[in-house]
Amino acid sequence: MKAFLKKESTQKLLASLLSILIGLVVGAIVVLIVGLFNKSISLKGAWEGIRLIFIGILSTGRSASGALTWGFNPASIGNMLFRATPLIMTGLSVALAFKTGLFNIGAPGQYLMGTLATLFIALSIPSGALPGWLIWLLAFLGGLLAGALWGAIPGLVKAFLNINEVLACIMTNWIAANLVTWAFDVSNLKNMVEGTKSGYIYKTTYGLVDGSYVDGAGVATAKLGLDKLFPGSQINAGILVAILLAIGVYILISKTTLGYELKACGANRHAARYAGIHDKRNIVLSMALSGALAAAGASLYFLSGNTEFFWSTYQSLPAAGFNGIPVALLALNNPIGVIFSAIFMAMLNIVGLQLTNLTAYNEYITDVIIAVIVYLSAFSLAIRMLIAGRSKKKKAAEEPKRTPTEPPVKPEDAKNEKGGDKA
C-alpha cells in the first residue's frame, strides 16, 4: 500500500480527487449559507440542494407529495454523455498542446471554425447527391481540417516568429468569432421556416431539396441503440467517436515516435533541436492537431441533428472551448483521464439544471464548484507535494531511532596511538 501511494501517478490521481471533493464541499457550504439567509429556502431546501450537488444525476424529480425522488434517470445520464462529447474533444485539444509545452487557449476559435465548415458542408450538399453517411463524413472531416488550419496559425507564429501562442490564440479567437458571424449572416442557411428562428442555422437534419430546406432530408449522427439505453435523451454515437479519438491521442502521445518528439519539444525545445528533432515542425503540428480536436467537438455536437447554432450570439466566444481548459487540468493532461473529467464536468452541468428545476437555487452554484476545482487543479503540483511530504514525515516517524556511533578511527591516528609520542 505504501509503495502504491509513493507512485507519482497515484499522487496525481489523489490530487485530482481531492480537488473534486473540496469543490463539492465548497458548493455544499454555499448552498447551506444561501439557505440559512433565505427564508424561502430554509434548512430543508438547503439539504435538498446539498443532496442534488452530490447525487443530482440520480434524481428523478419530485413525487406527488413534493419530495425528491431518486433512482436511475436514463434521460439525465444520456444528456450528460451527450454534453460530455464536445468537452472531451476540447479537453484533448488543450491537453495535447500542454504535452508539447504550449497553452492552446485558442480552442474556442478552432471550435467555431469547425462549426462553420461542418454546417456549410452538411447543409450545402443537395440531399440525394451523395449517401447520407458520406455527407456526414465529409462534414466531419471538413470541420477537422478547418480547425487544424486555424490552429496552425498560432503554431506558425510561435515557431517562426517566437510570438507567444497565448497572444496569437486570443487574436485568432476573435477573428474567428467575427468571421463566423459574417459568414452565416450572408449565407442562406438561416432558419426562416420556423418564424422566430431567423437567428438560428438549420439543423443538419434539414436537407436541400429542389433549392429549399426540408426537415428529415439531411444527416444526423447514428444512435447505434444508445437512444434505447437512455430514452428521452439527446445521446448518439458521437460519445463513442470521442472516446475512440481520446484513445488514439493516448496512443499517439505514449506509443509513437511522433508523440515522443512532441513531448521532447515540450520539455526543452532547444535540447530537442540539438538532438535532431524538428522543433518548429512539431510546434506547428501540435497546434494543428489541437485545432483539429477542438473542431471535432463542434462537428460532433452539431452533426447530432438535435442542436441548432445561434449564429448571432457568436460575437462572443463559445464556452465549450474554454471549458476544455479545466477538463485538461483536472485530468492532468492524460487523454484517458480527459474522458472522465469531461463526464464529471457534464454531470455538474446536469446537476445545475436539476437545482434550477427542482429547488429555489439556480445553476450558477455549479459554476462556483467548477471554479474551485479549476483553481485547485492549477495547484495540483502543490497538492501532490503536500501528499508526498506527509508520507515522508510518516515514514520518518515510523523508523526506529538509532543511537549515535563513534566516528571511525583514521589509520594515521591509530598508528600514532600505537607508537606513542616520539618527542
At 201, which CATH number? 1.10.3470
Q: Are residues 316 and 366 in the same domain?
A: no
Domain that includes residue 289, residue range:
77-344
Domain boundary among 318, 344, 370: 344
Residue 422 lies in a domain: no
Q: Are residues 150 and 19 in the same domain?
A: no
Q: Are residues 22 and 150 in the same domain?
A: no
Q: Taking the alpha carbons of 204, 172, 146, 322 in that order, is the dihedral positive or negative?
A: negative
Residue 416 lies in a domain: no
Q: Are residues 81 and 159 in the same domain?
A: yes
Domains of the chain: total: 2
Of 225, 197, 236, nearest to 84 by C-alpha is 236
- Rounded distance between C-alpha atoms, residue 362 and residue 367, angstroms: 10
| 279 close to 272: Cβ distance less than 8 angstroms | yes
Residue found by looking up cell 450558477 in the block:
364
Q: Are residues 31 and 135 in the same domain?
A: no
Q: Are residues 366 and 334 in the same domain?
A: no
Q: Are residues 273 and 301 in the same domain?
A: yes
Q: Are residues 263 and 118 in the same domain?
A: yes
Q: Are residues 273 and 309 in the same domain?
A: yes
Distances in whole angstroms, Cα of residue 88 to Cα of each of 45, 50, 74, 394: 34, 27, 21, 38
Burial of 409 (0-12, 13-18, 19+ CB in 10 A): exposed
What the block records as the C-alpha cell of 250 is 493516448
Q: Are residues 35 and 152 in the same domain?
A: no
Q: Are residues 62 and 108 in the same domain?
A: no
Residue 284 lies in a domain: yes
Residue 354 lies in a domain: no
Residue 151 lies in a domain: yes
pTM for this entry: 0.86
Q: Are residues 295 and 375 in the same domain?
A: no
Residue 171 lies in a domain: yes
- Rounded distance between C-alpha atoms, residue 84 and residue 88, angstroms: 6
- In tens digits, what is the pLDDT along the chain, a chain of 423 residues? 666 656 766 777 787 888 888 888 988 898 888 888 887 788 888 898 899 889 889 888 888 888 888 988 899 999 999 999 999 999 999 999 998 889 999 999 999 999 999 999 999 999 888 998 999 999 999 999 999 999 999 999 999 998 889 999 999 999 999 999 899 888 888 876 665 666 788 899 998 888 888 888 899 999 999 999 999 999 999 999 999 999 999 999 999 999 899 888 888 888 888 888 888 999 999 999 999 999 999 999 999 988 888 876 556 788 888 899 989 988 888 999 999 999 999 999 898 888 888 888 887 788 888 888 877 776 765 666 666 665 555 555 555 555 555 555 555 655 555 555 544
Q: Beta-strand (E) ranges in 38-138?
A: 59-62, 68-70
| 306 close to 224: Cβ distance less than 8 angstroms | no
| 85 close to 297: Cβ distance less than 8 angstroms | yes
Residue 278 lies in a domain: yes
